[in-house]
Structure 1
Amino acid sequence: MIPTRARLADLAAAAGVSTATVSRVLNGKPGVADATRASVLATLETLGYSTEPEPAESAGLIAVMVPELANPSFASFANELALVLTAAGRQMILCTAGPGGTSEEQYLDALLGVEIAGIISVSGTPADTEASPEHYQRLIDAGVPAVFINGYNPSVDGAFFSCSDAEAVSMSVAHLRSYGHERIGLAVGQMRYLPSRRKHAAFLGLGFDERSVVSTLFTVEGGQAAAARLLDAGHTALVCGSDVMALGAIREARSRGLEVPGDVSVVGYDDSALMAFTNPALTTVRQPVAVMTQAAVGSLLTAIRGLPTDPTEMLFHPDLIIRHSTGPCA
């Protein structure tokens, strides 16, 4: 198979024929004289190119980087990426850069010594405004293309695919307001992360002030701590930055003897597995994981073939999934 960096025009010039003739020879199509075909093949062999397809195992692995698998949202992306890459005939190596384990930076350093064809990062360093993406750029400079899901950084030479945080907040607030809620609070993770910043900006843009925003951790405990402060301030509805934070918010409400949604309404984000089976079933914003992963893989495979990709961030529309954790304002 001719390497993607070789242009048909270069091969045609070396063989002294047209690009159409080279294309027909490479694809085994008729319409080329035997002598011409033999001459083209001899030229390609002289140049060191092979018309034999590369074995799958030499195509290179696709490294998928996720922060952790304990968060069901990241596990969902990892699982969907495995399915899409397998369907595309590619093999995946999963790198989980979670707390207490191998860091993202260590993984990226290690990947410099491994023959990989490309990288897919889910909520990685580019999503952290206080971290440097230089380790990704080093791999990219070494010829390894990268795409990023929910992590945009214009200083990195990659392709970017994100769910719209602004739309997620807007539809959550509109839903709660339709139930008569006006004292709505926002519970998000640390503001160093781009999704938190984007949700925060969108929330303030809807007329709320800083007193209705609490930033903690993307955990159950973080959600519970944020809910405690927001409930103390008199909020009757909470928009959370993740489903696990929403579960923490519900725990806090119940610890105070409050009913969800009778006294407090709660909206999550991600629509992680099993959220339809919690008590109450969680109203949440669903990321279009399947569509986002297909787009990301398609872009990466395009880059691997040596074709240009668009560095403009592509934003995907989320969906509001209405269940039983939201209801009329008491």
Structure 2
Amino acid sequence: MKVGIVEIAARAGVSEATVSRVINRRQGVARKTREAVERVMAELGYERPVQGQLVAVVTEHVSNPFFADVAERIESALAPHGLKTVICPSFPGGVQEREFITSIVDKGIAAVVFLSASNTVEGADPETYEILRARHIPYVGINGEFADGVPVPVFSTDDALAAELAVDHLYQLGHRTIGMASGPKGNRPADRRVRGFIEAMAKRGVEEPERWVSRQSYTLEGGQAAANVLLQLGVTAIVAASDYMALGAIRGIRRQGGSVPDDISVVGYDGSMITEFVDPPLTTVRQPGDRLALEVGRSVLALVSNRDVPTGELLFDPELVIRATTGPAPGAGSRGYRQRHSDRTQT
């Protein structure tokens, strides 16, 4: 027998109008009443209608091709089932993120996807999550677990493996002085990539591998600044924590008179399509954006239909894509990049 609002209202001892507000996650219902209705819906196996409802995708990185691609893939996964996605560009963990959620929470919002948003920031304000939980609006994360300790689905690329793939590739090319251009401290993906890099270097006998890490912003300028630091240390290769940082590092190397990959090899991270068409095409560790988006779509559809889904973090393997920004380390007979650069600046 198909369960409807009438049956739920009778079992919960409330009006049909109250059930309707709960189903559509609208305001005007006391918390205890909302929880009682939600409990009855679960007991009776009621699945919410989703036609026309919104799924908010919260992300800072709208201009980054990788995140734009993932958001588009999430839209493609949900649209056939009647859900519509809206992009909420906001600074992770900031006031704007909370304001976005509070402003659309009464517009028929069905779920929220935090796409490398506040779920990536240590010490982020949990108020946004509290608002969603109070309204029984499910949320999931991509590339970062939530700080509030509430078990929710999270889908992430294995950052430790990504670092190992990049370091191993460069090591096989003969590089021994490898640096890392990473994002700021307190950003979970950046911290994980740094830990993975340090572990990969230590495994290969490098002492004090943390000294080869430069922490900057996830921007072209951040990558350039990191390259400036790492070149002074005498690196022959740079592992970047994003493709944008990698492109910034290449710019920094060139502005100091170096060549990629003849003097310095560079590996990016994300794997957006545009990296195939830069000059030279960028070697990168590609995140599986298609698989991440597919699993997010499946999870959101289950959650909004009132079905249980596995919680905790699910890790996805990245893939090394070798192109033209990596090559053999300068030969033992070479005086090295720093000496050649010094010659150029003195003449």
CA offset at residue 3 of structure 1? Answer: 5.7
Match of 2:133 among 136, 140, 161: 140
Cα deviations by residue, 1:145-180 (Å, 9 ceiling, x for unpaired): 111111212613421000010010000000000100
Task: State the Cα distance separating 1:54 from its structure 2 match.
Answer: 5.2
Report the counterpart of residue 111 of structure 2 in structure 1.
118
Aligned partner of 1:84 among 64, 77, 85: 77
User: Quick one: distance in 1 between partners of 2:4 and 2:299?
Assistant: 18
State the alpha-carbon separation in 2 of the partners of residues 261 and 289 from structure 1: 27
Cα distance change of structure 1 residues 274 and 2 upon mapping to structure 2, 3 Å threshold: same
Alignment CA distance shift 1:303-1:255 (3 Å): same
Number of the residue aligned with 1:65: 58
> CA-to-partner distance for each residue in 1:7-31, whole Å, 9 max, x for gaps?
9xx8xxxxxxxxxxxxxxxxxxxxx
Contact conserved, 2:50 with 2:305, CA < 8 A, in 1?
no
Matches within 5 A, 1:153-168: 153=146, 155-168=149-162
Separation of aligned partners in 2, 1:135 and 1:55: 22
Match of 2:176 among 161, 164, 182: 182
Deviations 1:95-120 (A, max 9, x none): 11159x98212112223333211111
Question: TM-score normalised to the size of structure 1?
Answer: 0.81
* Aligned counterpart, 1:130: 123
Structure 2 Cα separation of the partners of residues 55 and 135 of structure 1: 22
Q: Deviations over 1:203-251 (max 9, x none)?
A: 1112152210010000000000000000110011000010000000000
Structure 1, gaps ≥5 residues long: 11-48
- Larger CA deviation: 103-112 vs 315-324: 103-112
Deviations 1:10-61 (CA, angstroms, capped at 9, x unpaired): 8xxxxxxxxxxxxxxxxxxxxxxxxxxxxxxxxxxxxxx9x9x95823xx21
Match of 1:29 in 2: none
Partner of 1:221: 221
> Partners in 1 of 2:49 and 2:313 — Cα distance?
32
Counterpart of 2:305? 305
Classify 1:142/1:55 alpha carbon distance in 2 versus 1 (closer, same or farther; 3 Å).
Answer: closer
Larger Rg: 1
Q: Tell me, yes or no, if the aligned pair for 2:50 and 2:81 is still in contact at 8 Å.
A: no
Cα separation, partners in 2 of 1:55 and 1:137, compared to 1, 3 Å: closer
- Once the two structures are superposed, residues 186-207 of structure 1 have per-residue CA deviations (whole angstroms, 9 ceiling, x without a partner) of 1111111100110111111121
Contact 1:187 1:238 in 2 (8 A): yes
AA partner of residue 193 (structure 2)? K
8 Å contact kept, 1:140–1:157: no
C-alpha distance in structure 2 between counterparts of 1:171 and 1:273, whole Å: 19
Post-superposition Cα deviations, 1:285-310, rounded to whole Å, max 9, x if no partner, equal 11111111110110111111212222
State the distance in 2 between where 1:287 and 1:157 align. 24
Q: Residue 2 of structure 1 corresponds to which residue in structure 2?
A: 3
- Displacement, 1:62? 1.1
Residue of structure 2 equivalent to 1:283: 283
Taking the aligned partners of 1:107 and 1:83, their CA distance within structure 2 comes to 22
Q: Once the two structures are aligned, what percentage of the paired residues are identical? A: 37
Alignment equivalent of 1:74, drawn from 67, 76, 83: 67
Structure-2-length-normalised TM-score: 0.77
Matched, 1:259 2:259: yes
Find the aligned partners of 1:265 and 1:76 in 2 and give their Cα distance: 27
Aligned to 2:165: 171
Deviates more, 1:121-130 or 1:243-252: 121-130
Does the 8 Å contact 1:118/1:146 carry over to 2?
yes
Equivalent-residue separation in structure 1 for 2:230 and 2:67 (angstroms) = 27
**Corresponding residue of 2:344:** none
Moved more, 145-154 or 238-247: 145-154
SS of the residue 1:313 aligns to: strand
Is 1:95 the equivalent of 2:96?
no
Could you say if the C-alpha distance between residues 237 and 56 of structure 1 is closer, same or farther in structure 2, counting changes exceeding 3 Å?
Answer: same
Contact 1:223 1:240 in 2 (8 A): yes
Question: Structure 2: which 5+ residue stretches go unaligned?
Answer: 12-43, 331-347
1:149 corresponds in structure 2 to: 142
- Distance between the aligned counterparts of 2:49 and 2:119, measured in 1? 33
Distance in 1 between residues matched to 2:271 and 2:185, nearest whole Å:
22
Cα shift readout 1:130-151 (whole Å, capped 9, x = no counterpart)? 3123312321231101111112
The answer as to whether partners of 2:50 and 2:82 remain within 8 angstroms in 1 is: no
2:51 is the counterpart of 1:56: yes
Match of 1:21 in 2: none
